[in-house]
Amino acid sequence: MTLAVVLVEPAGPLNVGSVARLCANFDVDALRLVAPRCDHLGEEARRMAVHGEALLERAQLFPTLEAALADCRRVVATSGRIEEEALPLSGPAEALSWLQGGSSPDAPAALVFGREDRGLSNGELLQAGRILRLDTSEAYASMNLSHAVAVCLHELRRCPPAPAEPQPEPCRRDQLEAALADAEELLLEVGFLYPHTAQARLGKVRALLQRAEIRDDEVALLRGMVRQLRWASRRDCP
């Protein structure tokens, strides 16, 4: 399994450097930073990275989480919140076993961590196939970013090996988002969606498709149906 650790808008260079070191400790292939709010190549980050400095220097920068996950098929996002989430919460064993169950050599798996101060939004959580919550205290569930990364990577290392039989792979994130964009355009056009509610209603569709772990052939079928329906609706217009 090729793994990318993804940090969304990290604000602390010490945390980013520590995560780079952890990636080196646990043989993580790539570090991806979404709109970082600190200098990830500054002195503080380098000091904490130690022998992970090479990973820090190779870290890829992305403007949005969607862009950072475009080439991924299996995505686990972390959350410290206890209230109802956009998708059901999973413990480390279930979520991380699923993460490493992929068999596609062309698409990395991603482990996503949110902002130090407020974590991930519901919209960002909906871009994951599983949402992982560590078994922290209900009175104070939120962990320091680098500590959460350390626990998750350690738990991932302890997971049993992936099954010998290849498991069906979910489609790539960019394919799913393209299908949803096609559907949104059609549903706005025919009046099923309205601009002020489209995001919320499409979020429910995204959650449904994430739970179904829609595959390449299935997302292609969905896009074909949407395009045919759009053609038919425009043909019938006077």
Residues 129 and 226 in one domain: no
The domain boundary, picked from 135, 158, 181, lies at 158
Q: What is the pLDDT of residues 135-168, one digit of tens each?
A: 888 888 889 999 999 999 999 999 876 665 667 7
CATH, residue 11? 3.40.1280.10
Residue 229: inside a domain, yes or no?
yes
Around Cβ 53, how many Cβ atoms within 10 Å? 18
Domain boundaries, position 188: 173-235
Residues 131 and 37 in one domain: yes
Give me the number of domains the chain comprises. Answer: 2
Residues 178 and 148 in one domain: no
pTM of the shown model: 0.89
Residue 220 in tokens: 């292609």
Q: What is the pLDDT of residues 10-32, one digit of tens each?
A: 999 999 999 999 999 999 989 99
Residues 110 and 179 in one domain: no
Residue 163: inside a domain, yes or no?
no
Residues 105 and 32 in one domain: yes
